[in-house]
Amino acid sequence: MAEEVKLFGAWGSPFSRRVEIALELKGIPFEYIEENVSDDKFKSPLLLKYNPIHKKVPVLLHNGKPVLESLIILEYVDETWKDNPILPEDPHERTMARFWARFIDEKCMPPVWKALLGTGEEREKALEEVRECLKTLEGVLNGKRFFGGETIGLLDIAANFIAFWLRVIQEVSGLEFLTADKCPVLIKWCDEFVSCNPVKEHLPPRDKLIAFMKNWLSGDGWTD
């Protein structure tokens, strides 16, 4: 009996795109279901059924059973389908990959939004927070091709926001988060990561994301 794998996502979400990349790397066929997440009233009954608490994407549906939250889904995918592992075999390395993935979500992303929406001193403080986080990740990369070594791993996938979304945000806002003079190794990683076929096939259209971000920053809200 064929396995049923469905992914509820949103075209501009780095979180659901993470899962797409992982499934692609694993060679797992899946059905993608696009959700309009701009307002609860637009979300499908199925999304609300499978994620009634947070009502967010991504949701992975595997043989009728939902798995929630992108980083948890990545680990589930790796544990369920053993080929092409995205987590290291060494227990300590696995733990550190999980730690730095959470660091990106909990420490790197929030000040990006504060910098975008803030003004004056608040904006400068948030900008500096982001730069410090990126400098830290530059040290974690430590000259390797990918965070996972010679192949893309969980931490690389978790950092997709930095490789693609952050640079779009930087272009649209004019704020300097990530620059070659401060983080040359991270910039090189960004370029290599987004040029890999399993990744670039599951990134949103750049022009569409730029238009969305411009619209969002102007205060006009979500446009599909």
pLDDT, one tens digit per residue, over 133-150 is: 999 999 999 989 999 999
* Contact call for residues 58 and 13 (beta carbons, < 8 A): yes
Separation between Cα atoms, residue 216 and residue 212, nearest integer Å:
6
Partner residues linked to 149 by β-bridges: 146
Question: Do 123 and 213 have their domain in common?
Answer: yes
> Is residue 111 in a domain?
yes
Residues spanned by the domain of 50: 5-80
User: Parallel, antiparallel, or unpaired: how do β-strands 5-9 and 59-62 relate?
Assistant: antiparallel
Number of domains into which the chain is organized = 2
pTM for the model:
0.95
Tell me: the pLDDT tens digits for 66-95?
A: 999 999 999 999 999 999 999 999 999 999
Give the dihedral sign, CA 172/175/181/185.
Answer: negative
One domain, residues 76 and 99: no
- Indicate whether 27 and 124 sit together in one domain: no
